[in-house]
Chains A and B, each alone.
Chain A
Amino acid sequence: MADLTTDFLGIKSPNPFWLASAPPTDKEYNVRRAFEAGWGGVVWKTLGAEGPPVVNVNGPRYGVIHGADRRVLGLNNIELITDRDLETNLEEITRVKKDWPDRALIVSIMVPCEEAAWKDILPRVEATGADGIELNFGCPHGMSERGMGSAVGQVPEYIEMVTRWCKQYYSKPVIVKLTPNITDIRKPAEAARKGGADAVSLINTINSIVSVDLDTMSPHPSIDGKGTHGGYCGPAVKPIALSMVSEIARAPATHGMPISGIGGVTTWRDAAEFITMGCGNVQVCTAAMTYGFKVVQEMIAGLSRWMDEKGHESIADFMGAAVPNTTDWQYLNLNYIAKAKIDQDACISCGRCYAACEDTSHQAIAMSEDRTFSVIDEECVACNLCVEVCPVENCISMVPMEAGTTDPRTGKVVQDDYANWTTHPNNPGAVAAE
């Protein structure tokens, strides 16, 4: 049996599945039940400064993009940080940590960008016995209008400054949670590292308006006829999160920095993918909010089985394994040539490949009277569109051409060696191949 335990910044947890800072982790009752269900750790719902807590709207907070069977594909929220009293949260954190010493318990914090505010709250958090803190520089709505959340996360200098304060006034690991609402995710990550952060976690939610009510002309969710942008999360954001994680994992300035992967983790497979992209663990919010705490059992069982099948004994065995294979476009091998091939036995003759290729691609699929679809190798550029629109999995495949054979589209012989854009004759800036 694979060993799922993780050691993230010296914080141990029985599995890499943590609940992200959000409603599932907003109070003792939830967190206890989450641990009972099997979650390896939680990041407590973001705490604000001492004083009257923030208030949430008293109308709907969520909007969703649904699949046909109302499967939740993307979730949008306009919730703020915890609206419960700071002292209550701290007491609960202390109790829970005491009862669950083997689980990771991280405290998420968002206070104004002033040293005093951080100096004030950090010792109180330290006193709870929690394993570390996460700095919420991510929330894109509400708090950002007050100069916090993503308003900080979008200014690398602030990140560096606040991180430094935290390292100064707090002794345990500091994780910086990044906002994706920025052009280049590497910059805030680099700033966090410079400020002394132990890790980054990403992504927080993405600015979003999920829909407009065409009767009331209000964005959804609508509060008395008006709406505002919220933060988007759930399965829909996974590709964006995965890409941002990869950039931090690859960039020389941040390479090797521990990453907690967040954004659309819904199944064991998503988690495995984030880990291959360099994450030491993952955090989950929407999947738990959609299906309840029990989903973690699927994630644990699935990851464990997959690791067994692949012979991975620990998370470290495959952590970052996909990073070296993630590169820039200019380094992709232009001598690699493939052709689409349709398995006639699997084909159900829907003609979607034909419509897609004929109307929007390269007119490389022929259709006969009797609805037999076949690829015209002379035209196929191997774009893969037909593969993706075909409703039958593995019916169309991309078959690489053997070196030495001739590509009927270009009339050129397929080369054995690797050649990329940097040396291509059409590239005005090409450097001569060695």
Chain B
Amino acid sequence: MTEALRLDGIRAGRLGAEDLARNFDDLHAPLTGHEALIAADRCYFCHDAPCVTACPTDIDIPMFIRQIATGMEDAAAKTIFDQNILGGMCARVCPTETLCEEVCVREVAEGKPVEIGRLQRFATDAMMAEGEHPYTRAAETGKSVAVVGAGPAGLACAHRLAMHGHSVTLYDARPKAGGLNEYGIAAYKTVDGYAQAEVDWLMQIGGISLKTGRTLGDSLTLAALRDDYDAVFLGIGLGGVGALGLEGEGMTGAENAVDFIATLRQTADLTQLPVGRHVVVIGGGMTAVDAAVQSKLLGAETVTIAYRRDQDRMPASRYEQDLAATHGVRLMFGVVPAALRGEGQLREVELSYVDGDMKPTGETVTLRADQLFRAIGQKLEAVEGLSLDSGKIAVDTEGKTSLDGVWAGGDCAAGGEDLTVTAVAEGRDAAEAIHRALST
């Protein structure tokens, strides 16, 4: 096996199926019933709990934990889903270390928070395993809403609208629903086809008709949607990826991190997925970490994350950074790519050290690189007719855009962090706003 690891270039099969299965197993094993009871017992049931305030969807965390503690995980799941219909995915992917668990009084006191994320997963998994969907639709209102984008924002919005009795058509450009849950999130955070299982479970509400392979700006226009539906919600995420602006970016091996990850997520047999012997990732967010860690798990020999600022400013949380480091990824700070070298196939990346003001210090370093991933942020692919705010769709506090009858939420809309949970909150709140607008 070491032989395959030492072959230059971008190759499949660096590791065998067993190693890959182990590497891409659940990052955090689910809690057993007894473990959950012990974990739940650590919750103090705080008054006006800080964790609830920190959760973008305002889940009543002490309540659901108490429900677990009293042996009622189904009641706990309902408490979670009431606020966050994708509570199962959020339990897996939320950076809890910068959200609920960061402000847990036990984190503050002992550096050991209540394991809110894992407890949330325990409860939501229990209900989903039983196949129970705890909501029913209100009577048909006769109103119809187009939701464009079936990522977390669109799904949360569609579910809430359907619950209120509106009939929803959910469009997505991709062949599968789920958005980045299906095409972006690290594989070891959402194993066993969880994203699709969750979509199927969510659709049990009824009243949502999913139409995949339909792209706004291509087979769909905003004008037509506004004509055909009583309201439109846009949850189209950020489709564009910025270029580095270097010569040679067209060489084989220079790729977008999100494309690499999407391919990985859609590859059933990871022994068939090629990866470089030496990988360099440009960027400093969650995408950079995920691309780097998963390259390493596929069998890359050296993986380096090259981030342009210092460590404290890195968007990936310290927890994510540690995750990368413990997987053997090297983190470099204060470096920018200066040149790509190779003939047709990338071989080397030259990095230039920069100071606090991003000015090159004159010092450079050259790294071997069969593969380079751009993870320097995604951007909105503009939608005609909508006002923008710092490169994203401008919205008011309820998610309403500059166009009448059009709402937006999730990554494509201005404000809020680019997180699954934020997208869910915005989709849900926009649905409530649409419902209010359609009810008057």
Contact = CB atoms under 8 A, between A and B. Distances in A.
Contact of A350 (B34, B38, B40, B46): B46
Interface in B13-57: 34, 37-38, 40-41, 44-50
B38 A354 contact: no
Residue of A350, A352, A392 most packed against chain B (CB within 10 A): A350
Contacts of B49: 351
Residue of B34, B40, B41, B45 most packed against chain A (CB within 10 A): B45
A405 interface: no
B150 interface: no
B105 A69 contact: no
B41 A69 contact: yes
Contacts of B106: 348
B108 A348 contact: yes
A140 B412 CA distance: 71
A303 B50 CA distance: 42
A238 to B, nearest CB: 21
Contacts of B108: 348-349
Contacts of A70: 34
Given A348-B106, A350-B105, A392-B109, A68 B46 contact: no
Given A70-B34, A354-B47, A348 B105 contact: yes
Contacts of B48: 351, 367, 371
B34 A349 contact: no
A68 B47 contact: no
Contact of B41 (A68, A348, A367, A371): A68
B69 interface: yes
Contacts of B37: 68-69
A415 B42 CA distance: 43
A148 B69 CA distance: 42
Interface string A328-356: 00000000000000000000111110110
A69 B42 CA distance: 11
Contacts of A239: none
A265 B49 CA distance: 37
A69 B38 contact: yes
Contacts, number: 38
A391 interface: yes
Contacts of A371: 48, 50
A350 B108 CA distance: 10
A429 to B, nearest CB: 42
Contacts of B69: 68
Contacts of A392: 109
Interface residues on B, range: 10 to 19
A352 B106 CA distance: 13
Given A348-B105, A350-B105, A391-B44, A68 B38 contact: yes
A67 B48 CA distance: 26
Contacts of A69: 37-38, 41
A307 to B, nearest CB: 33
Contacts of A367: 47-48
Contacts of A349: 46, 50, 105, 108
Contacts of A68: 37-38, 40-41, 69
Interface string B177-205: 00000000000000000000000000000
B222 to A, nearest CB: 43
A392 B49 CA distance: 17
A67 B105 CA distance: 22
Contact of B109 (A348, A352, A354): A348
A371 to B, nearest CB: 7
A392 B44 CA distance: 11
Given A70-B34, A392-B109, A352 B45 contact: yes
A286 B41 CA distance: 24
A20 B34 CA distance: 32
Contacts of B50: 349, 371
A3 B44 CA distance: 43
A349 B44 CA distance: 11
Contacts of A350: 44, 46-47, 105
Contacts of A391: 44
Interface in B81-134: 105-106, 108-109
A342 B383 CA distance: 56
Contacts of B45: 352
A70 B37 CA distance: 9
B46 A351 contact: yes
Contacts of B44: 350, 352, 391
Nearest to B46: A350
Interface string A275-315: 00000000000000000000000000000000000000000
Contacts of A355: 47
Contacts of A67: 41
Residue of A348, A354, A355 most packed against chain B (CB within 10 A): A348
Nearest to B106: A348
A70 B36 CA distance: 12
A352 B47 contact: yes
Contacts of B105: 348-350
Interface in B340-364: none
A352 B108 CA distance: 16
B68 to A, nearest CB: 11
Contacts of B38: 68-69
Residue of A367, A371, A392 most packed against chain B (CB within 10 A): A371
Nearest to A358: B47
A391 B105 CA distance: 11
A355 B38 CA distance: 24
A431 B106 CA distance: 53
Interface in B286-318: none
A69 B35 CA distance: 8
B41 A351 contact: no
Contacts of A354: 47
Nearest to B110: A348
Nearest to A395: B109
Interface in A133-163: none
Residue of B37, B45, B47 most packed against chain A (CB within 10 A): B47
B344 to A, nearest CB: 60
B162 to A, nearest CB: 35
Nearest to A69: B38
A348 B42 CA distance: 14
A351 B40 contact: no
B38 to A, nearest CB: 5
Residue of A68, A69, A355 most packed against chain B (CB within 10 A): A68
A391 B41 CA distance: 12
A371 B49 CA distance: 10
Interface string B402-430: 00000000000000000000000000000
A354 B49 CA distance: 12
A350 B44 CA distance: 7
Contact of A352 (B34, B40, B41, B46): B46
A358 to B, nearest CB: 8
A52 to B, nearest CB: 43
11 contacts: A67-B41, A68-B37, A68-B69, A348-B105, A349-B50, A349-B108, A350-B46, A351-B46, A352-B44, A354-B47, A371-B48
Given A352-B44, A352-B45, 16 more contacts: A68-B37, A68-B38, A69-B37, A69-B41, A349-B46, A349-B105, A350-B105, A351-B47, A351-B49, A352-B47, A354-B47, A367-B47, A367-B48, A371-B48, A371-B50, A392-B109
Interface of A: 67-70, 348-352, 354-355, 367, 371, 391-392
| Nearest 10 interchain pairs by C-beta | A351-B47, A68-B41, A355-B47, A348-B109, A350-B46, A348-B105, A350-B105, A350-B44, A354-B47, A351-B46
